Amino acid sequence: MKNDLDGFIQTLRKSIITWDYFADFENSYKKAFELKIQLNILNSLIGEQDEFEKKFFQIIEKYPETRSALLVLIATRKKKIDELPIIDRHTLLPEKRSHLFDKKVKLSVEDKVAMWDFFTESGIRDIFQSNKIIRLEDYVFGVEVGLDSNARKNRTGKIMEKLADTIIADFCKKRSLEYLPEATTSKINDKFGTALVLHEVFLKRRGERRFDFAVFDRPHNKLTLFEVNCYTSSGSKPNSIAREYIDLNKYLKHSNVRFVWVTDGPGWLKMKNSLEAAMNSIDYVINLSMLKSGRLDEIFGY
């Protein structure tokens, strides 16, 4: 099979977004659950009016772990506060305030003033005293859903893998081929009885490399490895990946292993030179449309 640059470009998908792209509820619930104890303690402040400041400090001093939960109430992480000095309204000087939310740090008198400024100026105090929320854990779950939207870029790759997985798995079932998703070298060798060894230059952390999919044609003793990704914009990463895969393909081919790169997305429209270079060196570079339209039959010789 010969790579088809023009056909590849013409059939690129503008989007691979599915509904699970927008929110990862399971991950958001997990993060909210991790703070359940701290949030339940802070729940006691909801609706309080009398001696509110005194009760607030009694809680965060008796249960200092609750301080780490305060930042999520304003939809931010401690890492952000580590990087972002806060302006003092009186002095107009930026000051580091991340230590206020570290349970290991004992709050000084000055720290308590700064903590009360945070609690009041951020609007959290009003949220507690106005009864606008009933249960902090439910509120934080919603906050985590919003914060998790920042991870949407990473979810594009997962969606691409799911779409490819459906097609490749069906193909393997139809052709009686053995199939392994999330295939590390050790899993490949254990499942297929192969002796795949990668040069250290291709290994990731802990001495392993995970291929997105592995397919084994036992009658012909032929192993095929797949890498799958999608690029919605151009940049240095796709170019770097292309160079890596060129070297990887050469190495695998020498070991009698077939390598297939399934990639898609509008980012390639501005990186045609890198794509063409990859196609000149890698035997099989296809997109989702090609994968679905029967290109696997050509690759596997059916």
Distance CA 148, CA 219 (A): 46
Provide the pLDDT for residue 204.
58
Q: Which of 150, 184, 217 is the last residue of a domain?
A: 150
Same domain, 190 and 268: yes
List the structure tokens of 183: 């295939």
Q: Which of 150, 178, 203 is the last residue of a domain?
A: 150
Q: Give the phi and the psi of residue 197 in degrees, each rounded to 5.
A: -130, 130
Same domain, 122 and 194: no
Same domain, 204 and 177: yes
Same domain, 73 and 198: no
Same domain, 130 and 60: yes
Provide the pLDDT for residue 24.
85
Domain that residue 73 falls in? 21-150
User: Do residues 287 and 11 lie in contact, with contact meaning Cβ atoms separated by under 8 Å?
Assistant: yes
Per-residue pLDDT of 39-93, as tens digits, reads: 999 999 999 999 999 999 999 999 999 999 999 999 999 888 988 888 887 787 8
Over 70: is that where the pLDDT of 206 sits?
no
Same domain, 181 and 275: yes
Q: What is the rounded average pLDDT of the residues 153-166? A: 85
Same domain, 11 and 158: yes
Provide the pLDDT for residue 125.
95
Q: Which of 110, 134, 150 is the last residue of a domain?
A: 150
User: Do residues 288 and 159 lie in contact, with contact meaning Cβ atoms separated by under 8 Å?
Assistant: no
User: Do residues 150 and 143 lie in contact, with contact meaning Cβ atoms separated by under 8 Å?
Assistant: no
Distance CA 115, CA 100 (A): 7
Q: Are strands 284-286 and 222-230 parallel, antiparallel or unpaired?
A: unpaired
Q: Please state, for a pLDDT cut of 70, what percent of the chain lies above it.
A: 95
Does the pTM of the predicted model rise above 0.85?
no
Provide the pLDDT for residue 232.
84
Helix, strand, or coil (residue 223): strand
What is the tally of structural domains in the chain? 2
Burial 111-150, CB ≥16 within 10 A → b, else e:
ebebbebbbeeeebbebbeeeebeebbebbbebbbebbee
Per-residue pLDDT of 28-54, as tens digits, reads: 999 999 999 999 999 999 999 999 999
Over 70: is that where the pLDDT of 241 sits?
yes
Nearest in space to 271 (alpha carbons), one of 239, 244, 232, 230: 239
Same domain, 282 and 239: yes
Per-residue pLDDT of 263-288, as tens digits, reads: 999 999 989 999 999 999 999 999 99
Provide the pLDDT for residue 195.
80
Same domain, 10 and 146: no
Over 90: is that where the pLDDT of 257 sits?
yes
Same domain, 61 and 167: no
Burial 196-205, CB ≥16 within 10 A → b, else e:
bebeeeeeee
Per-residue pLDDT of 96-140, as tens digits, reads: 899 999 999 999 999 999 999 999 999 999 999 998 899 999 999
Give the end-to-end CA distance of the chain in Å, rounded to a whole number.
Answer: 12
Same domain, 115 and 167: no
Same domain, 47 and 111: yes
Domain CATH number, residue 217: 3.40.1350
Provide the pLDDT for residue 147.
86
Distance CA 203, CA 208 (A): 5
Q: What is the mean pLDDT of the chain?
A: 90
Per-residue pLDDT of 176-192, as tens digits, reads: 999 999 999 889 999 99
Over 90: is that where the pLDDT of 260 sits?
yes
